[in-house]
Chain A
Amino acid sequence: MTGQTEVRQTELGGLESVWESGMEDVYAFYRESAPPRVALAAALVESAVDLQRLGGPAPDPPQLLVGDLCLARASRLLAETGEQALQVGFAQAVERVAAAASAGSRDPGLRDLLLAAIEGAR
């Protein structure tokens, strides 16, 4: 089964191009340690941070909005899991990355934070 068929079409609505430009690989990475919905949420958060170039020069406005949609979609997917620990862990990961970007301090490593959140929710 490919990632594309595993992830329901509705969950990629408006984000097909993001999926094709690398999110599919990120999803496959997280899929090794998380169920499909959680893996997709993690891939969406990574894509958002990437698109929005947190810590780097600002993205152009359309890219910013696509990144916002990735974050919102991830929130919705996590809400559907009903797993409070995951919702909190993922949100804290974004908070830490955004705060570091804003302060110009060292990137705390989003992937590690997300993996820790997934592990912590088991």
Chain B
Amino acid sequence: MITGRRLEVTSDRPTQFVDISTRLQDEVTATGLVSGRVYLQSLHTTLGLAVNENEPLLLEDLQGTLERLAPRDVAYHHDDFTRRANIADDEPVNGHAHCRQLLLQPAFTLLVENGRVILGRWQSIFAVELDGPRQRSIALQLDGEFAPSAAACKNDRDRELVELELARQLRVDPESVQLPMRRLVEAGGKRLRPLLVMLSARLGPRQEPLRAAALAAAIELIHDATLVHDDYVDRAGVRRGRPTVAAAEGASQAVAVGDFYFAKATRVIAELGNREVTSTVAAAMETICLSQMDDVRLRGLYPGDFDVYLRVVRGKTAALFAAACRAGAQLSDARPETAEALSQFGDLLGIAFQMADDLLDYSESSGKPRGQDIRERVLSLPLIYATENDRVGPRIRELLAGSVSEEDVGEIQALVSASGALQRVGRDARDLATSAVSQLDAIDVDGIRPVLADLARSAVDRVS
């Protein structure tokens, strides 16, 4: 079996040796590779790879060697833009960095035994930035014999526990509210928020999976209750490939079902008897409601700009991600700094998730009709970026100014796709997911970092 991954690396200096040994081991652990090989490949012409000793003075020596062999301040043909064709506006002066890259490896293979990357006593693995600061990607392939990792097994148990708890919670409810909500819950969904609760609830001394599952299910029900109301507000007919409550049972039922589960989730959380958790979730619910009102009000200024988008998304989507992380940590009596770091992770991940979700409006396989965000004038980052584009922006604004026909929706979608906005949003989402994971660097995440990193990656690499 071969599994592919990407390792995102951020540099903050022009030349920098970034030690990726721990992160690479995390990737191996997360995949459960027991015995085999990891192939690494730099995806950049000014990022090299190296195995050497992580000793600060030696790293200065290595940097000095690169500088002597390919000095920055001599003339390189590559930097003579008058002689080059198709130069981008932001083309860097970096002939020295390309030449230095020749002295390093663009790719190599490492061996894995007993689940550990084999390294000598003094060996560390470096991504060597030669033209930073930048955001970089390294492609990985892991090949060999895999076993389910301990973290992955625990993750599977968490998923199972959340599903059981959700089913148990729903089973006791009156049929009139239970059946429509079950249709929504059983249609799937990624369960990211409840999984964040379960993972965060492992980080304190008080680890009680059943209480964590109750909180996780309640958070999922809050999310689903907001979807039921949102679908009425947005006049959406389909959600997760099935009819919405508003479409199938009618608007009045959608209001009642949303209210019932909003209240029920509040009660379940109150019954846990943890004041911090109750306050965290209540504050998030209020933020979500304020942002939803903001969102509807701003549809008059459609398509909006990035600042408006960020404000609304942070409230509408990221607030519950952040609360799921914080409340899970609080339930386990984790340290305040752990809860805070997890909350920041959730906040950034929530924004990244929404960006990736925006891209699904342009996808055939998302389970909802293409172009729905445009029809309902929902804030959407691809559209915002496309309207900033000099070539297609004016035409998109012109189309959005009037009532938008189906033909217009198709044209807008084509213009957005042609503008490069989808790729830009995809990059932004991946960068934010990377930043989210880096929020965890300062805390002890007790072996779940790879799982959280995996969750972050799956939140932005989506097809549905």
| Chain A residues in the interface with B (C-beta under 8 A) | 14, 48-49, 52-59, 61-62, 64-66, 68-69, 71-73, 75-76, 78-80, 82, 84, 87-88, 91-95, 97-99, 101-104
Q: Is the CB of B176 within 8 A of A69?
A: no
In the assembled complex, the CB of B85 is this many whole angstroms from the nearest CB of chain A, namely: 54
Residues from 217 to 248 in B contacting A, C-beta threshold 8 Å: 226, 229, 232-233
4 smallest beta-carbon distances between A and B, as pairs = A58-B251, A91-B267, A94-B263, A87-B270
In the assembled complex, the CB of B181 is this many whole angstroms from the nearest CB of chain A, namely: 10
Q: Is the CB of B275 within 8 A of A98?
A: no
Sample (29) of A-B pairs whose CB atoms are under 8 Å apart: A48-B259, A52-B255, A58-B232, A61-B232, A61-B296, A62-B296, A64-B233, A65-B293, A66-B293, A72-B262, A72-B285, A72-B288, A73-B289, A76-B285, A78-B282, A79-B283, A82-B275, A87-B270, A94-B259, A94-B260, A94-B262, A95-B263, A98-B263, A99-B173, A99-B260, A102-B176, A102-B256, A103-B174, A103-B175
Residues of A within 8 A of B232 (CB): 58, 61, 64
Residues from 268 to 287 in B contacting A, C-beta threshold 8 Å: 270-271, 273, 275, 278-279, 281-283, 285-286
Q: Is the CB of B266 within 8 A of A91?
A: yes
Chain B interface, >50% SS class: helix
In the assembled complex, the CB of A45 is this many whole angstroms from the nearest CB of chain B, namely: 9
Q: Is the CB of A87 within 8 A of B267?
A: yes
Q: Is the CB of A84 within 8 A of B271?
A: yes
**A72 CA / B404 CA spacing, docked (Å):** 34
Interface check B394, CB cutoff 8 A: no
Contact A80 to B176, CB < 8 A, known contacts A14-B290, A94-B263, A98-B263: no
In the assembled complex, the CB of A38 is this many whole angstroms from the nearest CB of chain B, namely: 14
**A51 CA / B364 CA spacing, docked (Å):** 38
Contact A54 to B255, CB < 8 A, known contacts A65-B289, A79-B278, A80-B279: yes
Q: Is the CB of B174 within 8 A of A69?
A: no
Q: How many A-B residue pairs have CB under 8 A?
A: 133
Contact A102 to B285, CB < 8 A, known contacts A56-B252, A61-B296: no
**How many of chain B's residues have a CB under 8 angstroms from any CB in A?**
42
Q: Which residue of B lies closest to A91 (CB)?
A: B267
Q: Is the CB of A79 within 8 A of B255?
A: no
Contact A98 to B259, CB < 8 A, known contacts A69-B293, A82-B275, A84-B271: yes
**A97 CA / B266 CA spacing, docked (Å):** 15
Q: Is the CB of B292 within 8 A of A68?
A: yes
Contact A76 to B290, CB < 8 A, known contacts A59-B255, A98-B263: no
Q: Is the CB of A69 within 8 A of B270?
A: no
Contact A102 to B266, CB < 8 A, known contacts A64-B232, A65-B296: no
Q: Is the CB of A52 within 8 A of B293?
A: no
